[in-house]
Amino acid sequence: MQLLIKNGILVLPQETVQADLFIENGEISQIESSISKEGIPYIDAKGSFVLPAGIDPHVHLSLSTPIGLTVDDFESGSKAALAGGTTTFIDFVTPRKGQNLIDAFIERKAVIGNCYCDFAFHMSIIEWRTEIPNEMEACVKEYGITSFKTYLAYRNSIGIDFDDLEKVMKTAKSLNVMVTIHAELGDIIDQLQNEAISKKHYDLIYHSKTRPDYTEYQAVEKIIELIRKTNCKTYIVHVSTAESLNKISKAQKEGLPIFAETCPQYFTFEESVYKDSRNKALGFIMSPPIRSEENRRGIEKAIADGQVSTLGTDHCPFTLEQKQKATNFTKVVNGTGGIQHRLSLFYSRFIASKKLSVNDMTKLASTHPAQFFRLPNKGKIAIGFDADLVIWKKTSEKIGKRILYSRSDIDIYADEQIQGKADIVIKAGKIVYQNGKLEKDLPQGHYLYRK
Ligand code: URP
Ligand code: ZN
């Protein structure tokens, strides 16, 4: 299969150049100022950016929770991803207590079914057992899993304490792989929630009041101490406070291997969303919560100043009905969607407003996720790399007017006005999205074995 893209503005790692790009057998095979091929299908991308397609390092499809699965499975989640210009994502394996990590991985792979994006998994470590180091080694060496996820929140289910986190970090360091951490002080949050409930504070605003800023940045502080001890490569997921980013940035200057991910919800919204009607506010119950306007601006500034390494979504969508089941804020299932909107939201806030360049967007949304998580041949436009590409278009429209592919009936971004969007999406050299909708015949994605 061959495809030629002519006259586009190619977004390369350090520069943008107007050039033609030739794709063969799913890979980029030629980049020249002008390429002519007889009888080959071609796209005229004149005046448009051609970007490496997005890689979302943080999604939860078919995630099992006490109230049921997240509403997007790998089929609908990957469709939403493609429609937004993301062709690869990293989901999670979450073992049960006592379950061997490899068994959990095999079980997880069995639920995938149709998936039109390439994908990998972070392995969650939800407890410490004497067998964990051997199982982690098998994950890395036999199953291509080079990142491990830990949660400091959710202490009565999958969360671990700092002592166990240190053991995970030491083991990861010995295997030369990344530990990713949900940084919230779970014990303190549980205590604050119990106090709120005992005072009959049931309103949704207490979701954010019982997860104050310090429950994140003090967790980050303690993690930095552990990095000093272990020198483990560490990635903090969905950073939501300005103070956490400040601490991470200082630790980086000290030479520590720490990296920050944030998500569009933390630079788009501020906490008054919890005072909206109950049905609207339910969509924003996620952890960490939406924070103050000061934090929102702080996150925005830190991104513009280059203090954030990657952009994820934490795509974890539920239906309104699933969210409504809760009797008080502590019982509302956590999470929201966004995988289709990540690039548009970032472009609109940072590129259209000239705070950052389109190369910066590519770095956060594609190149860095590929490098940090060792995704083979992904994340940049270069010869021999996968032909996962996006032809970008300037626009001015509301997200809610587009064809949305998530199965959730909640879209917290529906009213957001965007300035740019994926116009044509190419996955492994094949057009999968154009004219505002997905193509009928989508090829299956592949599990990415990481080395
Ligand atoms: O509220 C959230 N973020 N739910 C998904 C699980 C997690 O904590 O990332
Ligand atoms: Zn998550």
Percent of the chain having pLDDT more than 70?
100
Q: How far is the CA of 190 from the centre of ligand 1 (A)?
A: 16
Return the pLDDT at 13.
Answer: 85
Indicate which residue's Cα is closest to atom 5 of ligand 1: 335
Question: Could you say which ligand is closest to the alpha carbon of residue 56?
Answer: 2
Residue 210 confidence (pLDDT) above 90: yes
CA-CA distance, 412 to 400, in Å (whole number)? 10
Q: Are 228 and 256 in contact (CB under 8 A)?
A: yes
CA-CA distance, 24 to 409, in Å (whole number)? 39
With a 6 A CB cut-off, is 124 part of the ligand 1 pocket?
no
DSSP states of 83-131: HTTEEEEEEEE-PPTT--HHHHHHHHHHT--S--SEEEEEEE--S--TT
* Backbone φ, ψ for residue 278 (5° rounding): -55, -45
Pick from 341, 432, 441: nearest CA to 395:
341
* Residue matched to tokens 């272990």: 230
With a 6 A CB cut-off, is 316 part of the ligand 1 pocket?
yes
* Helix 101-110 / helix 132-143 crossing angle, nearest 10 deg: 40
Pocket test for ligand 1, best of 184, 331, 333, 334 (most atoms within 8 A of CB): 334
With a 6 A CB cut-off, is 207 part of the ligand 1 pocket?
no
* Residue matched to tokens 């970090």: 169
With a 6 A CB cut-off, is 286 part of the ligand 1 pocket?
yes
With a 6 A CB cut-off, is 334 part of the ligand 1 pocket?
yes
Q: How far is the CA of 314 from the centre of ligand 1 (A)?
A: 6
Question: Could you say which ligand is closest to the alpha carbon of residue 211?
Answer: 1
Cα distances (Å, whole numbers) of residue 128 to 64, 132, 167: 21, 6, 8
List of long-range contacts for 18-23, beta carbons under 8 Å, 24+ apart: 21/50, 21/381, 21/389, 23/387, 23/426, 23/429
Indicate which residue's Cα is closest to atom 4 of ligand 1: 335
- What are 332-356's pLDDT values in tens digits? 999 999 999 999 999 999 999 999 9
Residues 323-335: what's their mean pLDDT? 95
Residues 204-217: what's their mean pLDDT? 98
Pick from 392, 363, 365, 248: nearest CA to 311:
365
Indicate which residue's Cα is closest to atom 2 of ligand 1: 335
Return the pLDDT at 259.
Answer: 98
CA-CA distance, 341 to 363, in Å (whole number)? 17
Return the pLDDT at 14.
Answer: 87
What is the average pLDDT score of the chain?
98
Q: How far is the CA of 152 from the centre of ligand 1 (A)?
A: 12
Q: What are the residues whose beta carbons fall under 8 Å from the beta carbon of 227, sequence distance 6 or more? A: 169, 234, 251, 256, 257, 258
Return the pLDDT at 172.
Answer: 99
Residue 142 φ/ψ region, left for φ over 0, alpha for ψ in the -120 to 50 degree band, beta for the rest: alpha
- What are 379-430's pLDDT values in tens digits? 999 999 999 999 999 999 999 999 999 999 999 999 999 999 999 999 999 9
Residues 7-28: what's their mean pLDDT? 96
With a 6 A CB cut-off, is 60 part of the ligand 1 pocket?
yes
With a 6 A CB cut-off, is 88 part of the ligand 1 pocket?
no
Indicate which residue's Cα is closest to atom 7 of ligand 1: 287
Ion ligand 2 neighbours (CB, 5 A) are 314
Residues 319-343: what's their mean pLDDT? 96
Cβ count within 10 A of residue 286:
23
| Nearest ligand 1 atom to alpha carbon 316 | 5
Q: How many residues make up the chain in this entry?
A: 451
**Which H or E run contains 197?**
helix 186-198
Q: Are 233 and 178 in contact (CB under 8 A)?
A: yes
With a 6 A CB cut-off, is 184 part of the ligand 1 pocket?
no
* Residue matched to tokens 């397609």: 53
DSSP states of 317-382: ---HHHHHT-SSGGGSPP-B--TTTHHHHHIIIIITTTSS-HHHHHIIIIIHHHHHTT-TT-SS--
Residues 111-132: what's their mean pLDDT? 98
pLDDT band at 327 (very low <50, low <70, confident <90, very high): confident
Residue 187 confidence (pLDDT) above 90: yes
